[in-house]
């Protein structure tokens, strides 16, 4: 803590002591808040300057973000969860006016009074009673520059929320989106469940897990990388429509669309296939767009998009043949694909053969998928949990939904042949033994469950964070995660970061 900041904290503690000596409680337990700022601002819009409503009483509580004491009067700004409203103190009409000068920006206060409109037309609360509720020991970030430093915004999200109204709105909208999805599925008789986040075997997708140790059981466990295998066990048990919205953890890289900890929706629906899931996804995304954006046509990242059904469909292998230069052979011929890629993409020499398909797809096809687009018929070699296509050789009944160039959803006609699943897991085990730490570990309990019998079903996974990114027009996943994972650093006080000279901040 710098000497200057230390002195500011000392000054604030002196102000707190002065308030206590004037009879105020240092840390009150409650305050009888009756309204929020927006209740006043919305009710008294489009009114003439000079009007007042002494009979209307409001009790607000929030953070003081501005204060101007001018002789026998003072104006300030009070910010609460809903927004910000101007407040007015008059020496002749409010008790303890002398104590107002001991308030600091950032303090949390309770005020009670009636609304009026100033000569300049600003709706204001005329304070008749007030009470300090908490003394802030550090200054707020500059009200003019706001909080712009990216690292500070992510590490001290409370400061980001405190000074950036648009950030608060982003996370309110995220909550609305998740609630809409829950209501959408609940209305269709899906049951929400909760699976274990600590698992003996991390399965359900190909990813590197985080490892943890359980002391009482003296055993290493994994944080889950997917929700799938436990939800499928519930279909075996007799439930027909289940879903979970929960955190998953993958020990992988961090970039604009990836965070090691993120939120997934997974659902499983008995007696349907991937075509039925496609219809469900179209219905969900179209309805969600209308609920959040007011229309299925709106703008994302400066581009006009259309989320109305039906969505376009693109064949996985066909799109590779169309988009990848000189790919004049069947890309499912992995030895030829290896030779082709080694010659043209030497940086991929350590990429396993079967992953070259996704590398090419990500390079040439994904960037062009702007409107919601179903990519269908993925090769069997990259789809260990999907059913083989009923009529096409070498591919599966699977789709991924893409939009704005990245994956939003993944779905299958679920594999319920226990013997076929065992063979695929054994193939994955061979890859693990060969050094592929993302390949599936064989889950004997899950295989036993399949042997009891899982009905035919369709399954779906949706990345909630990426979906929120699109609907809030944010280009980084960290902008839609309240507390994104950050590399630890030597302790640097939040107020020191926030008080950084704006000229040194990074946008």
Q: Which token pair is 258?
A: 């990836």
- Which string of DSSP letters, residue by residue, matches 98-145? GGGGG--TT-EEEEEEEEEE-TTS-EEEEEEEEEEEE--SSPPPPTTT
Residue 356 makes CB contacts below 8 A (sequence gap 6+) with 334, 337, 338, 341, 348
Q: Give the strands of the sheet with 219-223, arranged side by side.
A: 198-199, 219-223, 211-214
CA 22 to chain CA centroid, nearest Å: 45
Q: Which helix (H) or strand (E) holds 507?
A: none
Helical pair 274-293 and 464-472, crossing angle rounded to 10 deg = 40
Annotated binding residues: 400, 407
Q: What is the pLDDT of residue 438?
A: 60
CA distances from 183 to 172, 177, 189, 328 (A): 17, 10, 10, 48
**Residues 90, 71 contacting (CB under 8 angstroms):** no
Residue 481 makes CB contacts below 8 A (sequence gap 6+) with 259, 261, 262, 465
Task: Quickly tell me which residue has 């989320």 as its tokens.
Answer: 307
Annotated binding residues for Mg(2+): 400, 407
Q: In whole angstroms, what is the distance from residue 125 CA to residue 115 CA?
A: 4
Q: In whole angstroms, what is the distance from residue 179 CA to residue 291 CA?
A: 11
Q: In whole angstroms, what is the distance from residue 97 CA to residue 75 CA?
A: 12
Question: Is 204 strand, coil or helix?
Answer: coil
pLDDT per residue rounded down to tens, the chain (507 residues): 556 668 889 999 999 999 999 999 999 999 999 999 999 999 998 888 999 999 999 999 999 999 999 999 999 999 999 999 999 999 999 999 999 999 999 999 999 999 999 999 999 999 999 999 999 999 988 754 456 788 888 999 999 999 888 999 999 999 999 999 999 999 999 999 999 999 998 888 888 999 999 999 999 999 999 999 999 999 999 999 999 999 999 999 899 889 999 999 999 999 999 999 999 999 999 999 999 999 999 999 999 999 999 999 999 999 999 999 999 999 889 999 999 999 999 999 999 888 899 999 999 999 999 999 999 999 998 888 889 999 999 999 999 999 999 899 999 999 999 999 998 888 877 776 766 666 667 789 999 999 999 999 999 999 999 999 999 999 999 999 999 999 887 755 545 555 544 333 332
Residue 5 makes CB contacts below 8 A (sequence gap 6+) with 138, 139, 493, 495, 496, 499
Strands 73-80 and 58-70: antiparallel
CA distances from 377 to 206, 255, 300 (A): 18, 28, 28
Supply the pTM of this predicted model: 0.89
Instruction: Provide the H-helix boundaries in 350-417.
Output: 356-364
CA distances from 434 to 278, 430, 437, 438 (A): 36, 6, 9, 11
Residue among 414, 322, 391 at smallest CA distance from 360: 322
**Residues 348, 362 contacting (CB under 8 angstroms):** no
Q: Where does residue 187 fall: left (phi above 0), alpha (psi -120 to 50 degrees), or beta otherwise?
A: alpha
Residue 234 makes CB contacts below 8 A (sequence gap 6+) with 193, 242, 268
Q: In whole angstroms, what is the distance from residue 154 CA to residue 164 CA?
A: 12
CA distances from 224 to 201, 254, 441 (A): 8, 18, 13
**Residues 361, 319 contacting (CB under 8 angstroms):** yes
Residue 16 makes CB contacts below 8 A (sequence gap 6+) with 26, 102, 135
**Residues 265, 243 contacting (CB under 8 angstroms):** yes
Q: For the chain, list the domains and their CATH numbers.
A: 3-140 (2.40.50.140)
Q: Return phi, psi of residue 5, to 5°.
A: -65, -35
Question: Is 18 strand, coil or helix?
Answer: helix
Cis peptide leading into residue 299 (ω within 30°): no
Q: In whole angstroms, what is the distance from residue 283 CA to residue 404 CA?
A: 19
């Amino acid at each position: 803590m710098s000497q200057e900041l230390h002195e500011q904290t000392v000054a604030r503690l002196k102000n707190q002591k002065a308030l206590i000596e004037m009879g105020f409680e240092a840390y009150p337990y409650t305050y009888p808040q009756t309204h929020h700022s927006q209740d006043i601002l919305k009710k008294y819009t489009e009114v003439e300057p000079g009007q007042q409503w002494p009979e209307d009483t409001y009790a607000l509580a929030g953070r003081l973000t501005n204060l101007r004491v001018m002789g026998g009067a003072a104006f300030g700004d009070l910010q609460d969860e809903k927004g910000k409203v101007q407040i007015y103190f008059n020496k002749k009409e409010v008790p303890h006016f002398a104590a107002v000068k001991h308030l600091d920006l950032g303090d949390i206060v309770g005020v009670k009074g009636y609304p009026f409109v100033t000569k300049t037309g600003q709706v204001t609360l005329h304070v008749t009673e007030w009470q300090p509720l908490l003394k802030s020991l550090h200054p707020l970030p500059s009200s003019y520059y706001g909080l712009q430093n990216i690292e500070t915004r992510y590490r001290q999200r409370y400061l980001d929320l405190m000074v950036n109204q648009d950030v608060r709105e982003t996370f309110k909208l995220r909550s609305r989106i998740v609630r809409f999805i829950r209501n959408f599925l609940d209305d269709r008789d899906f049951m929400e469940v909760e699976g274990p986040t600590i698992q003996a075997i991390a399965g359900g997708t190909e990813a590197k897990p985080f490892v943890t140790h359980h002391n009482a059981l003296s055993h290493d466990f994994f944080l889950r990388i997917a929700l799938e295998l436990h939800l499928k066990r519930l279909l075996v048990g007799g439930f027909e429509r289940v879903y979970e919205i929960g955190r998953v953890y993958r020990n992988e890289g961090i970039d604009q669309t990836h965070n090691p900890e993120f939120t997934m929706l997974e659902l499983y629906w008995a007696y349907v296939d991937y075509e039925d899931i496609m219809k469900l996804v179209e219905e969900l995304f179209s309805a969600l767009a209308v609920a959040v954006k007011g229309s299925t046509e709106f703008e994302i990242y400066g581009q006009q998009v259309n989320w109305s059904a039906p969505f376009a469909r693109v064949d996985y292998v066909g799109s590779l043949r169309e988009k990848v230069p000189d790919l004049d052979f069947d890309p499912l011929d992995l030895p030829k694909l290896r030779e082709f890629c080694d010659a043209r993409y030497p940086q991929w020499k350590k990429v396993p053969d079967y992953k070259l398909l996704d590398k090419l797809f990500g390079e040439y096809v994904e960037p062009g998928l702007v409107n919601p687009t179903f990519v269908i018929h993925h090769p069997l070699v990259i789809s260990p949990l999907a059913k083989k296509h009923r009529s096409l050789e070498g591919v599966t009944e699977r789709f991924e939904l893409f939009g704005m160039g990245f994956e939003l959803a993944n779905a299958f006609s679920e594999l319920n042949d226990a013997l076929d699943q065992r063979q695929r897991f054994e193939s994955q085990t061979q890859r693990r033994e060969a050094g592929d730490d993302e390949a599936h570990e064989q889950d004997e309990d899950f295989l036993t469950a399949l042997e009891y019998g899982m009905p035919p079903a369709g399954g779906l996974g949706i990345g909630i964070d990426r979906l929120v990114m699109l609907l809030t027009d944010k280009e980084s996943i960290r902008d839609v995660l309240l507390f994104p994972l950050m590399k630890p650093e030597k302790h640097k006080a939040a107020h020191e970061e926030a008080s950084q000279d704006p000229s040194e901040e990074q946008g």
